[in-house]
């Protein structure tokens, strides 16, 4: 964990972003910026990757050509100066194409249409609280939380209509075993029965 307690020139965010860009992160690990610190996230369990693959495959069913699904894409939550690397991000292809190939700057989370987080035992609370609030504050229209460790049992919840206060107006929780419908532009049902719990 790297924090910004040492004196540095410029804003703390600039220092953290520059440090994040220069990190040599072990293969499979991710580095995120949260609460003014760089946090290393270990590689996910195989079930996490299996769920991500199933979601990605289903999203491609009706995905418009101007959109693409990205794994390990860093997204900046500008209102909170946080940087996360979600399981999946759906974003307009033109934004990725227009990004500076010489830069490793994260993409603006506000440009994402859908962000998918799949909980692990060690990060479930953060995905349910910190990331939920951050994505809502960024204005991400849809946040899909796939939570194998929910106290009610394994759940997939789609949050829609973000508020500036860091909440979503609507949530559609579905227990694993029942399909979860994603609205336009996806217009697809996720078969959560196929997700390993």
DSSP 51-83: HHHHHHHHHTTT--TTEEEESS--EEEGGGTEE
pTM for this model (two decimals): 0.90
Lowest mean pLDDT: which of 6-20, 22-36, 140-154?
6-20
Average pLDDT, the chain: 91
* CA-based nearest residue to 162, from 185, 144, 147, 142: 142
Mean pLDDT of 122-137: 94
| Rounded Cα gap, residues 107 and 25, in angstroms | 19
Give the pLDDT band of residue 6 (cuts 50, 70, 90): very low
Count CB atoms within 10 A of the CB of residue 173.
Answer: 15
The average pLDDT across 82-86 equals: 96
Distance from C-alpha of 98 to C-alpha of 95, rounded to nearest angstrom: 5
Poorest-pLDDT segment among 84-88, 98-102, 113-117, 120-124: 98-102
d(CA 31, CA 25): 7
| Interior/surface letters 134-145, b for 16+ CB within 10 angstroms, e for the rest | bbbbbbbbbbbb
pLDDT in tens, 18-61: 999 999 999 889 999 998 999 998 888 889 999 999 999 999 99
Confidence bin at 3 (pLDDT 50/70/90): low
Q: Which residue has the tokens 């994603």?
A: 182
- In this prediction, residue 105 carries a pLDDT of 86
- pLDDT for the residue 158: 98
């Amino acid at each position: 964990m790297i924090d910004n307690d040492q004196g540095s020139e410029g804003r703390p965010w600039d220092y953290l972003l520059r440090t994040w860009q220069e990190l040599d992160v072990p293969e499979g690990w991710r580095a995120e910026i949260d609460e003014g610190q760089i946090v290393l996230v270990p590689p996910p369990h195989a079930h996490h990757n299996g769920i991500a693959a199933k979601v990605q495959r289903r999203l491609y069913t009706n995905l418009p050509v101007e959109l693409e699904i990205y794994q390990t894409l860093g997204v900046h939550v500008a209102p909170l100066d946080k940087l996360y690397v979600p399981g999946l991000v759906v974003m307009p292809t033109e934004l990725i194409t227009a990004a500076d190939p010489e830069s490793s700057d994260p993409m603006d989370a506000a440009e994402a249409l859908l962000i998918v987080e799949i909980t692990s035992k060690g990060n479930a609370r953060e995905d349910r609280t910190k990331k939920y609030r951050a994505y809502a504050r960024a204005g991400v229209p849809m946040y899909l939380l796939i939570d194998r460790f929910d106290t009610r049992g394994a759940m997939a919840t789609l949050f829609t209509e973000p508020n500036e206060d860091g909440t979503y107006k609507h949530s559609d929780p579905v227990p694993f075993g029942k399909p979860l419908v994603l609205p336009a532009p996806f217009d697809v049902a996720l078969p959560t029965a196929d997700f390993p719990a």
